[in-house]
Amino acid sequence: MRTRLLALFLYPMLRIEKLHHQLSNRFTIGPLSLTIDSGTHVAIIGESGCGKTTLLKIIYGLYEVTNGTIFWGDQHVTGPDDNLIPGMPYMKYLSQDFDLMPYTTVAENINKYLSRLTPKKSRQRTDELLRVVEMTALADVKVKTLSGGQMQRVALAQTLAKEPELLLLDEPFSHIDNFRKNKLRRKLFKYLREQNITCIVATHDSTDVLSYMNQTIVMKDGQVVCKDDTQAIFENPPSCYVGSLFDDINVLPKEWFDEVSLSDKKRLLYPHQIQITPQGKEIVIEHSYFMGSHYLIMGYHGDQSVLFNHREDLEKGSNHRISIK
């Protein structure tokens, strides 16, 4: 026990070293190496088919990797060849397919993962998790009658029943309505931070990433393109591909903004970084898209398109000048 505690302080909790896994003749993960500290919340983002889900499954121990090693603290993460039931006991993995018992209640689906020797304590734990996922009112409802979003919340509570050290979530809010998703994310990640549970989330949704993830890993074609603090990646995307995972991205000539660079002649800019000004590059307005709090404006300078935010609708065909905020 003392050796394990020492390892937790000496090393990053998750260490992936020279990982390489050939899933098929067409797709390979890695080679890649990563470290993640205890209590950190990390997003894995990238286009569909880039390897996000596969990487989560490898970390959990569902695949036998071709080469490389994975450690959680001082524990070697092993695959199906070494485990009768694949998956590591100190981790929990929530896949996109829910494994629920349809003919039992919401509370029973959670409680089945808790000890029967201490029913009172198990019930208290179930009630706590029902509050976290906002399902208290439906505790005694049969799972088969729930919506997809409600089932997803029950599955999320299941993964937390026996509190894991590492939580792996694959598109955990994909079936949940926006009005409920925002509150649920705040409650869930607050709870995980309070319990110091390390969390890795594979997601397509940038709103899952920006407000809640300490770090972000960007993947493409089975490779890690970049890994850094989430805010640093968002504010300074290293490529158009990375920036486009957060928002629309403009790739514009630096000369438009009187910027000189020998290494790169293009500037990556989000729509919110561009404004209308008396001086600047002239564009012709093509379309205005109402976004609720603002308009997303599409304009052109010659053949070059530009997207930027503006507080008002702009008339098609009108001329304006733009600059960087």
Give the pLDDT band of residue 259 (cuts 50, 70, 90): low
Per-residue model confidence (pLDDT) at position 1: 45
Per-residue model confidence (pLDDT) at position 4: 45
The CA–CA distances, whole Å, from 143 to 19, 106, 107 equal 39, 6, 9
Per-residue model confidence (pLDDT) at position 126: 93
109 near 133, Cβ under 8 Å? Answer: no
Judged against a pLDDT cut of 70, whether residue 81 lies above it is answered with yes
Per-residue model confidence (pLDDT) at position 83: 86
Q: Give me the residue spans of the domains in the chain.
A: 12-90+164-237, 108-162, 247-324
Cβ contacts of residue 249 below 8 Å, gap of 6+? 237, 240, 243, 268, 269, 270
Longest dimension (CA), the chain: 74
Q: Picking from 100-109, 231-240, 252-261, which range would have the lowest pLDDT averaged per residue?
A: 252-261
Nearest CA to 70 among 170, 200, 216?
A: 200
Alpha helices in the chain (DSSP H): 2-10, 52-60, 106-111, 119-132, 148-161, 178-194, 206-210, 230-235, 240-244
Judged against a pLDDT cut of 50, whether residue 164 lies above it is answered with yes
Average pLDDT of the chain is 91
Which option is the CATH number for 247-324: 2.40.50.140, 1.10.390.10, 3.10.180.10, 3.40.50.720? 2.40.50.140
pLDDT tens readout for residues 86-139: 888 899 999 988 889 999 999 999 998 888 788 899 999 999 999 999 999 999
Architecture category of domain 12-90+164-237 in CATH: 3-Layer(aba) Sandwich (3.40)
Cβ contacts of residue 10 below 8 Å, gap of 6+? none
260 near 253, Cβ under 8 Å? Answer: no
- 5 vs 137, higher pLDDT: 137
What percent of the chain has a predicted confidence (pLDDT) above 70?
Answer: 94
Judged against a pLDDT cut of 60, whether residue 9 lies above it is answered with no
202 near 209, Cβ under 8 Å? Answer: no
Quote the pTM value: 0.90
Judged against a pLDDT cut of 50, whether residue 2 lies above it is answered with no
Per-residue model confidence (pLDDT) at position 12: 61
